[in-house]
Amino acid sequence: MFDVIVIGGGVVGGLILRELTKYHLNVCLLEKASDVSMGASKANSGIVHAGFDATPNSNKAKFNVLGNEMMEKVTGELGVKFRRNGSLVVAFSAEEIETLKELKARGEQNGVSGLEIISQERLREMEKNISDEALGALYAPTGGIVCPYELTIAAIGNAMDNGAKLETEFEVVKIVKNEECFVLSSSKGKTIEGKIVINAAGLQSGKIAALAGDSGIEIKGRKGEYILLDRESGDFVSHTLFFTPTKLGKGILVTQTEDGNILLGPTAEELENAGTDTSAQGLAFVIEKARKMCKNPPLFNTITSFAGVRAYSSKGDFIIEESKTVKGLIHCAGIESPGLTAAPAIAKFVVETLVGGSLRLIKNENFNGARTPDYFFKNLSTEEKNAIIARDPSYGKIVCRCEQITEGEILRAIRANPPARDIDGVKRRTRSGMGRCQGGFCQPYIAELIAKERGVSLEQVTKCGDGSELIMGVTK
């Protein structure tokens, strides 16, 4: 029996899992997909928000500001790239300038430091491609960028290295609570027992709550469409540019990503089904807004477009609490933006306060929070690269030419915790296939590496789990 079972392998569940391994607890994470980080944490803006947006005293405000402060430490330990590039909320009218003042006051109330309203002149100095129509901005130097799936995968990998268990393709369809524990059953007939269950199931967190007998969580989904530009245009903007929020919504953002691309988006569309289709209208909206924010966005350098989902609660705030009706069930639900930023603080609070309220927490002296990455091989010095190649020649072989990813990094992604089992899993761990050719050259090669490492045939290798096999037979 596990002490704690976490449902949901997103950034919240992942960081909670890691936090749990700091104590003498037997813990497990359940994920319904074939890999972790497959829901909201797969495709979002990757922004570490400063914290001026949330209503004072809300969970969003509290965990946003705390999470922002924790980001250096957690990403540093996990070897995840993170940078405070600073955020700019851009005003296009006198009315919007007034809104900036309100935002600044709200941010200060939330405890955000360094906020400053800057002039048009200064804005133009900071962002050479900003629209001529932009009049000024709220500058938040503590805003930053991080890759959501990189953080999620690293957190879960580190937790596993410290003894946590991961069960993928475990879709919880039944939860029974007896006197001692919860018994969770999967759609494939597996069962697992745990004393405490943490519901970090994203879009499914309302359903999970209901399965456990708590009907008080109402979760809806929203879809956001994005366009990603080549690293070649990576210096088009350097800060994260937001529109001033209006009654009609927040609009899109234009930002650098931590990997050096430019990201435009997202739209905000109510989700009718679970799909992440893009639409012609959605992408046209993103382009229209990007053109309003900046002069001549380099759309000719588009390398892909995609959509992500985010779950939000009917309460308009994060739900982070023990269930009022089911003891031992802890909800982390409705974690929409700024959830990525808040996640480290949520994890700490959930484990120390909520789990600690039921179980005795004894420090795990053997916990090692460090995860040494070699998957930024490209960024190492020549000496460092050569030392690694001398030890393992597979690092001397470039497989993904656009992103300069080596065979060694791909093999590591397939072998290390949590192991990549398909093309997209390798892609999220290494960036192979994320460049301008979008895997055109390297995919067959990576498929062969996966087949060989996992001891399966090439016909069994998938893009993203069962049903997404790459090929449909052999030639005549």
**Strand ranges (DSSP E) for 355-465?**
398-400, 405-406
When asked if residue 272 is in the footprint of another protein (CB under 8 A), the reply is: no
452 binds another protein (CB under 8 A): no
- 307 near 277, Cβ under 8 Å? yes
**Planar angle of CA 3, 19, 340, nearest 5 degrees:** 125
**Cβ 188 to another protein shortest distance, Å:** 17
Q: Which is nearer to another protein, 181 or 227 (CB)?
A: 227
Q: Which residues contact 132 (CB under 8 A, 6 or more apart)?
A: 295
What is d(CA 354, CA 181) in angstroms, rounded to the nearest whole number? 17
In the complex, least distance from residue 297 CB atom to another protein, rounded to whole angstroms: 13
Q: Is 99 in the site for another protein (CB under 8 A)?
A: no
In the complex, the smallest distance separating the C-beta of residue 278 from another protein, rounded to whole angstroms, is: 5
The CA distance from 401 to 241, in Å, is 31
x/- mask, another protein, residues 226-265, rule CB under 8 A, reads -xx---x---------------------------------
Stretch that binds another protein, among 5-13, 251-259, 358-366, 383-391 (CB under 8 A): 383-391
* CA nearest to 90, candidates 310, 319, 254: 254
Q: Does 463 bind another protein (CB under 8 A)?
A: yes
For position 468 contacting another protein by CB under 8 A, the verdict is yes
Give CA–CA dist 127/229, Å, rounded: 17
Contact residue for another protein among 277, 327, 452, 456 (CB under 8 A): 277
Spatial separation of the C-alpha atoms in residues 226 and 467, rounded to whole Å: 25
Instruction: Extract the tokens encoding 356.
Output: 């600690």
411 binds another protein (CB under 8 A): no
Among 303, 311, 347, 450, binds another protein (CB under 8 A): 303
Q: Decide if 162 contacts 15 (C-beta within 8 A).
A: no
Residue among 247, 270, 365, 473 that touches another protein (CB under 8 A): 473
| Residues with catalytic function | 49
Q: Is 440 in the site for another protein (CB under 8 A)?
A: yes
The residue (of 79 and 396) whose beta carbon lies closer to another protein is: 396
**456 lies in the site for another protein, by CB under 8 A:** no
CA dist 117 and 164 (Å) reads 46
Residues in Cβ contact with 284 at an 8 Å cutoff, skipping those fewer than 6 apart: none
Q: Which of 393, 415, 452, 456 is the binder for another protein (CB under 8 A)?
A: 393
CA distance 147 to 431: 11
- Number of chain positions touching another protein (CB under 8 A): 56
- Asked if 239 and 294 count as a contact pair (C-beta separation under 8 A), the reply is no
Q: Does residue number 436 form part of the binding site for another protein (CB under 8 A)?
A: yes
The CB-of-202 to another protein minimum distance in angstroms stands at 17
Question: Of the listed pieces 89-97, 352-360, 365-373, 435-443, which binds another protein according to CB under 8 A?
Answer: 435-443
| Cβ atoms 79, 371 nearer than 8 A | yes
Q: What are the tokens at 7?
A: 């449902």
Rounded distance between C-alpha atoms, residue 177 and residue 183, angstroms: 6
Query: Looking up tokens 């929203």, which residue turns up?
Result: 222
Among 178, 366, 372, 475, which residue sits at the site for another protein (rule: CB under 8 A)? 475
Instruction: In angstroms, give the least distance from the CB of 340 to another protein.
Output: 21
396 binds another protein (CB under 8 A): yes
DSSP 8-class letter at 144: E
Residues at the site binding another protein, with contacts judged by CB under 8 A: 227-228, 232, 275-280, 282-283, 302-306, 382, 385-386, 389-390, 393-398, 401, 404, 406, 436-441, 443-444, 448, 458-459, 462-476
